[in-house]
Amino acid sequence: MNTTSADIPAMGVLEKDFDLVGERSMEVQYYEVQTEVATRSSSGKLKSTDIYRQRLMVEPGGGAAGKADKFTCARFSVQRDDSPEVTIPALEGFSYEVDKELLNKNDLDEQGQLYGIPEATFEGLTDDTGAKLSFEVGYQVYSAFFYYHGFTDYAEPTSEGKGAQHLKKVGDKIVHDAAFVESPIPGKLAKEGSNWKNGEVTLEFKGLTVLDDRPCAILGFDSGACPWVMPMNYMPVMNLKTVGNSNYRGDIYLDLESKWVRKLEMILSEITVTSMWGLPVDKSIPVSTLAIRAMSKDEFAQLQV
């Protein structure tokens, strides 16, 4: 006797069409966002491990509030290698609004700010001991904010080309609208001429699961090979330039009911070469691991202590 998909109850679920980009819930969302950056030398020796932790509250836009979502950082901390974890007081309560319809194709607003995040906020930051953050750490703190947007965006529909709205069945896979897009690298540390180019970005409807008692779709994304170049504004007497090749890949757990991301796990692997006045001075292999998880309001409040 031959068994067909109709004879297996689970197959009916796997073969049905899903709407991954329907109307989102208007409930306030709470997230813990953690970025770990482990940097190795060209010989493979571990040079440093830094961990950036953020508590982020998202108030959905809509209705009388307009279309912009409001993002508020309740707490931001940094832990460098074995040093004690420190917080950044200036970022406690820092908020900004994002209206996707007001951003250009590179997600910049009219002032050239990525996702409308005011970069001036991240200049001259100090930790809770009063120590000023180094320029590298300050840039990573700034990066942690747009990482959330840049990667959760893959669970949202696109206005052009293919996006999450084209994934209907488990197993569907597309070349995403972001494929081969070239964009400037954000931040005042990056001089004019800094740019990043995506490879063949793919997005796949990998499966279904239950997370936090909620049904979720698992979406996998992969950037392909991404070349980039970044002349840097570090010190006037230093003509620094870093070139690299990167790949980022990860999984998004999308709540099928609320249409908000419940969890995201991503790895960004890079090989970078820094030169001064055209002479190589450093080659390193940083690997950044991003973990985003949704939480309840009560848990979010407890983690502020």
Which residue(s) pair with 48 in the sheet? 39
* CA 248-251-255 angle, 5° bins: 145
Number of H helices, E strands in the chain: 3, 14
Between the two ends of the chain, the Cα-to-Cα distance in Å is 62
pLDDT at 52: 97
Token pair in block for residue 182:
């070239």
Q: Where are the alpha helices (DSSP H) in the chain?
A: 9-15, 135-152, 297-302
Check: CB of residue 152 under 8 Å from CB of residue 290: no
Residues 95-115 pLDDT 10s? 999 988 888 888 888 888 889
CA distances from 134 to 89, 154, 244 (A): 16, 31, 22
Residues 29-63 pLDDT 10s? 999 999 999 998 877 889 889 999 999 999 998 64
Considering only CA atoms, which of 131, 116, 115 is closest in space to residue 78?
Answer: 131
Half-sphere exposure (Cβ direction) of 109: Cα atoms closer than 13 Å:
14
SS (H, E, C) 181-232: CEEECCCCCECCCCEEECCCCEEEEEEEEEECCEEEEEEEEECCCEEEEEEE
pLDDT at 1: 45
Check: CB of residue 228 under 8 Å from CB of residue 197: yes
Per-residue pLDDT of the chain (305 residues; tens, 9 = 90+): 444 444 445 555 667 899 999 889 999 999 999 999 999 887 788 988 999 999 999 999 864 445 889 999 999 999 998 899 999 999 999 999 998 888 888 888 888 888 989 888 988 899 999 999 987 888 889 989 989 999 999 999 998 889 999 999 999 999 999 999 988 877 666 677 788 899 999 999 999 999 999 999 999 999 999 998 877 766 555 677 788 899 999 999 999 999 999 999 999 999 888 877 777 777 888 999 999 999 999 999 886 55
**Which domains, from first to last, does the chain contain?**
18-302 (2.30.230)
Token pair in block for residue 291:
């973990």
Which phi and psi angles does 155 have, rounded to 5°? Answer: -90, 5
